[in-house]
Structure 1
Amino acid sequence: MIGHELGGRYQVIERIGGGGMALVYRAHDILLNRNVAIKVLRNQFVHDEEFIRRFRREAQSAASLSHPNVVSIYDVGQEDDVHYIVMEYVEGKNLNEIIKERAPLQVDEAVRIASQICDALDHAHHNQIIHRDIKPHNILIGRNGRVKVTDFGIARAVTSTTITQTGSVVGSVHYFSPEHAKGVAAGEKSDLYSLGIVLYQMLTGALPFLGESPISVALKHLQEEFEEPRQLNPLIPQSVENVILRSMRKNPEERYQSAKEMLQDLETCLLPERRSEAKADFHDDDDLDRTRIIPAIKPLQRGFEDRGDEGLSRRQMEPEPAPASKRKWSKPALWAGITLAVLLILGGLAWYFTDKLSVPEVTVPDVRNHMLEDAKAMLDEVGLIIDEPVTAEYNPNYDENEVYEQSKVPGSRAKKGTHIALTVSTAKVLTPMPGYTGQNYDDVVKALGALGVDQSRIKPDERYSEEYGEGQVIGTDPAEGSEFDPDTQTITVYVSRGKESVDVPDLTGMTESQAKKSLEDIGLVLEEVNEESSFSMEAGKVMKQWPYEEGESAQRGEKFTITLSTGYPPEALNYTFRVPVIPTSEGTKTDIRIVYSDASKDGEKQEWGTRAIAKSQYLPVDLILAPNKDGAITVYVNGDYVEAYEVRYSDAKNGTVDEPQLPVTETPPPTPAPEQTSPDPTIEPEILPPSDGGEGGEAPEGEQTGYILNDQNSQTNNGNGNGKGNGNGNKDKHKNN
């Protein structure tokens, strides 16, 4: 049964008790999130249809009881062959455990407990429910001192078949009433007899009847007298003993007529004027069934005549008669005096006890909706006493320390000194916040819902986290361990969005310290620094970054590796090429623009710059050459392409680079007009190489600047529009690109 979910709602946790007909378990009500007690019918009764029918009916009857001293019935159900009753779970101990621990109890404590039991019985009897099994095991004492009576109606569910099969009367024989032991119908007064035994046991620590077998104990209930409680515990006031003596009379007619009557006696028995009252007297001679001791009849005084040694005859033993006149007046006067004295004494005693024992009645005030201190003052004013300790239970409709229930009906009459039990509201018992850190958000929402928190009052708050993955709970507000009200409070659940993402900057061209600071500013970490030679990046600057490039997203805390340039590799060559340039005409300013490419900048074209010249000269261009990268120079005059040069790495390394000479400008003589002759078909025309270095290519369109690149060919080509490029007159000196 333990671990089983009964009725799809009650999770059985542990067994906490049991009796002859049922076992009791502590369980958790999943729906209402509270602990309950579940009474499960024993297997031997599950096939008795009449028993089951009465069991359900009596459970429903018990559920109709609503009293602060009665354990509440929540539910009745069946699952397969399991018949169960769900009831209020009381934190505390049963009265039997308390008696074993510290009996005899203090008189006022025992009377207070008995009063609450009696109040519960009065409520049950008014609802036509007889308990029939009042015993300390069925009396629960909560931690707040509140007495709760349980097991109403179960004994009545026993059938005649069950009794026949078991051969015994169901119940606890030590607490049987005589009529119960006889097997006749046990009514309200039977519960009062059992309550008297419970009070007897609380005050003495012993049971009134003990025997070797249940039958012998039952017979003692019917025939024998018990040892009076004051003989076992002289501290018991006579008034309290009188309550026990009356409630335990064998004849039901001599007991209290109702639980209410017994409750009134319990409420006043500790008043100072009652503590020393006379012992209750019952007319046992009227009980014809009572066992008596009949004295033996003594023989007549025949022995006197046989005592000759004393020499006394019967006549001598007889007194002499008194004179007639004296006998006539002395006896009536004596008896009259005695009678008068007795009457006076009895009258005085009657007046004294009437004055002392007569307790006036007062009207019970309504102290509900008043604060506890005010309620005490109101009850003190009319002579009523608050039962201590005051029961404190949370009630959402009342403020803290405000009275919302009293044991006596307002407006009713009660004797002065009567104890009244009050129930005040406490501050709401708050729920400690469980720890949900690291759990999935959806699971936490379900768990909070089980505590009574409405989903509309659960607010997620997403935050970046270095420790928890996306969707995991970082924490809550209220924090773990703090108390909160699940019925009203809004719960903030902090949910991880994972690590925060940032845009990666471009580290290229930065120094190591600059790169490290740039990463740290956005929460990234520089973990490793490598070095590598480079034609394109100067020494000490970042040339590579990993694992993210510029503009990509990375989570905070990511580790980076950078590669620093150590400068040009050892095989690189620095070579200065002198470019010969001339103005369009001597003395005229001419713009010379030079563009070059080499091993630096990954071979991209770079601007050397523009110079305005008015005379022929060399312009030096510094090149970086590598085994797999040659240099190239392009010259523009007034924006027009005029020449290109190539500088090979191998030539530069070997010192075999042929640099062009500065062109010499001359004014050519007039050229006579050519004769108009037919071309000789046997002579083939000379094909000049293209000026841009491409095979079969043409020079760029536009006006070409005329200058001599070959001192063996002095003519100037002043072509317009589509003129051919300048020829290379010294092919073994340099290559015309």
Structure 2
Amino acid sequence: MIGTVIRGRYRLDAVVGTGAFATVYRAHDERLEADVALKVLAENHSLSTDVRERFINEARRLRQVASPHVVGIHDLGETDRYQPFIVMDLADRGDLARRVADHRANSRQVVPEDLLAVASTLAGALAAMHAHRVVHRDLTPRNLLLASTPSVSPTPDRTSRGIVGSDERLLVGDLGLSKDLALASGITAAVGTPGFSPPEQRIGAGIDERTDVYAASALLVWLVTGQVPADDGTWPSAAFGGWPQGIVSTLSRGLSRAPGDRHATAAEWEAEVRAALAPAELSPTLPAPALPGPVAGTEHPSSSPGQRRRARRGLVVVVALIAVLAGGAGGRLLATDDDDGSGSRTEEIGSGRVRAEASEGDLTVSVEGPETLTVGEPSSFTADVGDAESWVWVGPDGRISPDAPSLDVTPGSEGQLAITLVASDGTGRTVRAVLRVRAGDR
């Protein structure tokens, strides 16, 4: 089909990918004078109503979850031979699988910035999909695509680049196996890629957003170790010996067999990843791909404690202590061991204010603010981060604010809101405090 012009507009220039159901071509849009990717359903599958509908639904969902972190769609049509096709952004730099293979072949390191670049794309894409109740179900290195950013000058020295270059975008693609939870029956087909699919997906049980959190965690494990988790959720965490214990704990949580033990949202997952990778002195090296078989991720040497403390932390601590004293020493305990797994203790401290506190060893952090919020009006929440080296807020809307002494929240509707603070000390230890408050009208 190379050289063919489809619908008088799209000239097929080269094959860039093939699969069991479709072929992806590099094409030129002669009307807009732009290079695009054109995905055509195979002729034999075009006769299958189910496969045909699934292909068209991929286009609809790509359009529905429009996001800078998801491959964009430009057109949907049908060839003269009745084969559906989708016109999408062209990933002219290949996929993550090929990029990492090249990285390893040149003995280059995987560093925290690489994990953060991938985690940020995953979290942004999943937030957009999950907001529309769409679960991807097949996050793999081959479904993370790299596209050049024409407005940015390319980095001349390719060997100095990270996994994602400064002139590139990483995009989530291939929603062919995605599922609309609004239309779900409670069960699902046992689909997905081994190593990246959680237990509930492999057996065809009910799935939700936490299915993608598992796959995102597996992707980061693969990025560092070159291996994927085993079917029982264990993974070669010994390869993380040069990384902080916090990232091991975060990925272990994301790979929990029980969905209820994982992060509830992609934003919460990303916040923990960022907090765990915060220590500036970390410089891990890329492990060799040939590692021992998967083992359970438990205890590993942690990095040396951070030597710097942010000056503003003292002010945050003082403000929090003043608020505690103003409310009285003895507050009424409202809750303990939240069902989100944070283990936060929430108590009233007087004057209509509440505080949630959580500890991990000798690291203790807390969040304080009003017990009741008014819809449409901003309210401020402050943090006591103790000896934490870094911290990240996660607002009720999923907005992430790193290292801020306070967080302003303006509720848009009535209901319960969760304000989350994820903090990490210099040893990689991570703790999460969750304060739940209620929003209502005047």
TMscore range, shorter length: 0.5 to 0.7
Matched, 1:92 2:99: no
Q: CA deviation at 1:189?
A: 1.4
Query: Are 1:266 and 2:280 matched, yes or no?
Result: no
SS of residue in 2 equivalent to 1:174: coil
Q: 1:22 to 1:171 in 2, by over 3 A?
A: farther
* Residues 182-261 of structure 1 mapped to structure 2, 5 A cutoff: 182-209=203-230, 221=231, 224-229=232-237, 231-261=238-268
Q: CA deviation at 1:268?
A: 1.9
RCO comparison, higher one (Cα < 8 Å, 6+) = 2
Indicate if the aligned counterparts of 1:3 and 1:11 stay in contact, CA closer than 8 A: yes
Q: Partner of 1:75: helix, strand, or coil?
A: strand
Query: Partners in 1 of 2:33 and 2:203 — Cα distance?
Result: 46
Tell me the alpha carbon deviations over residues 376-429 of structure 1, each in whole angstroms, 9 at most, x when there is no partner. Answer: xxx999589xxxxxxxxxxxxxxxxxxxxxxx99989896999xxxxxxxxxxx
Ranges in structure 1 where 5+ consecutive residues have no aligned partner: 158-167, 210-220, 282-346, 365-378, 385-407, 419-737
1:9: which partner in 2?
A: 9
1:256 to 1:11, Cα distance in 2 relative to 1, 3 A: same
Q: 2 CA distance for matches of 1:280 and 1:353?
A: 24
Q: Do structure 1's residue 62 and structure 2's residue 62 form an aligned pair?
A: yes
Cα deviation digits, residues 551-593 of structure 1 (max 9, x gap)? xxxxxxxxxxxxxxxxxxxxxxxxxxxxxxxxxxxxxxxxxxx
Q: Is the 8 A contact 2:279 2:389 kept in 1?
A: no
Deviation string, structure 1 residues 103-124 (Cα, Å, up to 9, x no partner): 4622321232122212111111
1:272 partner SS: coil
Taking a change above 3 Å as real, the CA distance of residues 357 and 190 of structure 1, as seen in their structure-2 partners, is same
- Tell me: CA distance 1:16–1:409, structure 2 relative to 1, closer, same or farther (3 Å): farther
Give the SS at the match of 1:202. helix
CA–CA separation in structure 1 for the residues paired with 2:362 and 2:234: 34
The answer to whether the 8 Å contact 1:69/1:147 transfers is: yes
Contact kept, 8 Å, 1:271 with 1:417, in 2: the verdict is no
What does the per-residue CA deviation read over 1:421-458, in whole Å, with 9 as the maximum and x for residues that have no partner? xxxxxxxxxxxxxxxxxxxxxxxxxxxxxxxxxxxxxx
Q: Distance in 1 between matches of 2:174 and 2:208?
A: 16
| Native 8 Å contact 2:38 2:88 kept in 1 | yes
Check whether the contact 1:129–1:152 (CA below 8 A) recurs between aligned residues.
Answer: no
Residue number in structure 2 paired with 1:658: none
Aligned position for 1:134 = 139
Secondary structure of the corresponding residue to residue 52 of structure 1? helix
- Partners of 1:256 and 1:189 lie apart in 2 by 7
Quick one: structure 1 residues 170 and 5, their matched pair in 2 at CA, closer, same or farther if it must change by over 3 Å? Answer: farther
| 3-state SS of 1:15 partner | strand
The code of the aligned residue for 1:178 comes to P
User: How far apart are 1:203 and its partner, in Å?
Assistant: 0.9
Q: Distance in 2 between matches of 1:193 and 1:117?
A: 12
Q: Which amino acid aligns with 1:49?
A: T
**What is aligned with 2:387?**
356
Describe the superposition over 1:598-638 as per-residue Cα deviations: whole angstroms up to 9, x where unpaired. xxxxxxxxxxxxxxxxxxxxxxxxxxxxxxxxxxxxxxxxx
One-letter code of the match for 1:135? T
- Secondary structure (helix, strand or coil) at the match of 2:91 reads coil
Cα distance, 1:226 vs structure 2 = 2.2
- Change beyond 3 A, Cα 1:5–1:68: same
Cα distance in 1 for residues equivalent to 2:49 and 2:145: 31
Q: Deviations over 1:120-142 (max 9, x none)?
A: 11111101211111000010133
Higher deviation after alignment, 41-50 or 125-134: 41-50
Contact 2:191–2:201 under 8 Å retained in 1: no
Residues 266 and 226 of structure 1: CA distance in aligned 2, closer, same or farther (over 3 Å): same
C-alpha contact 1:28 1:34 (8 A) present in aligned 2:
yes
Map of 2:168 onto structure 1:
145
TM-score by length of 2: 0.58
Letter in 1 for 2:268: E
- How big is the shift at 1:26? 0.5
Change (3 A) 1:95 1:411: farther
Pairwise CA distance, 1:271: 2.3
How do 1:71-110 residues align onto structure 2 when only pairs under 5 Å count?
Answer: 71-79=71-79, 80-103=81-104, 105-110=110-115
Instruction: Specify the SS of the correspondent of 1:12.
Output: strand
Equivalent pair of 2:271/2:422 in contact (CA under 8 Å): no
Give 1:39 shift: 1.0
- Tell me how far apart the structure 1 counterparts of residues 389 and 111 of structure 2 sit (CA, whole Å): 26
| One-letter amino acid matched to 1:207 | V
* Distance change in 2, residues 1:170/1:20 (3 Å): farther
**How many residues are matched?**
290
Offset at 1:48? Answer: 1.2
1:62 and 1:153 in contact (8 A); partners too:
no
Look at both structures and tell me which one has the larger radius of gyration over its CA atoms: 1
Gaps of 5+ in 2: 149-166, 181-188, 283-295, 299-357, 366-385, 396-400, 412-418, 425-442
1:422-433 counterparts in 2 under 5 A?
none
Residue identity in the other structure for 1:177: P
8 Å CA contact 1:37, 1:87 repeated in 2: yes
Q: Give the Cα–Cα distance (whole angstroms) in 2 for the partners of residues 409 and 99 of structure 1.
A: 39
Contact kept, 8 Å, 1:107 with 1:203, in 2: the verdict is no
Which amino acid counterpart does residue 11 of structure 1 have in structure 2?
A: R
Please tell me the residue identity of whatever aligns with 1:12: L
CA distance in 1, matches of 2:251, 2:31: 45
Once the two structures are TM-superposed, the CA of residue 353 in structure 1 deviates from its matched residue by 4.1
In structure 2, distance between residues paired with 1:227 and 1:360: 27
Q: CA deviation at 1:34?
A: 0.3
Give the match for residue 30 of structure 1: 30
**Are the structure 2 counterparts of residues 409 and 52 from structure 1 closer, same or farther at C-alpha, using a change threshold of 3 Å?**
farther
User: What SS class does the counterpart of residue 120 from structure 2 fall into?
Assistant: helix
Residue 120 of structure 1 corresponds to 125
The 1:78–1:188 alpha-carbon spacing in structure 2 relative to 1, beyond 3 Å, is same
Q: Distance in 2 between matches of 1:92 and 1:202?
A: 18
Counterpart secondary structure, 2:87 = strand
Between Structure 1 and Structure 2, which shows a larger proportion of strand residues?
Answer: 2
Structure 1 pair 152–246 and aligned structure 2 pair: CA distance change class (3 A): same
- For 2:19 and 2:403, how far apart are their aligned partners in 1? 47
Change (3 A) 1:225 1:126: closer
2:268/2:394 contact within 8 Å kept: no
Query: 1:207 offset after TM fit, Å?
Result: 2.3
Q: How does 1:444-455 map to 2 (within 5 A)?
A: none
1:60-99 deviation digits (Å, cap 9, x = unpaired): 1221222111110111111223111110112313110122
Q: After superposition, what is the alpha-carbon deviation per residue over 1:516-575, rounded to whole angstroms, capped at 9, x for unaligned?
A: xxxxxxxxxxxxxxxxxxxxxxxxxxxxxxxxxxxxxxxxxxxxxxxxxxxxxxxxxxxx
Q: How far did residue 20 of structure 1 move? A: 2.4
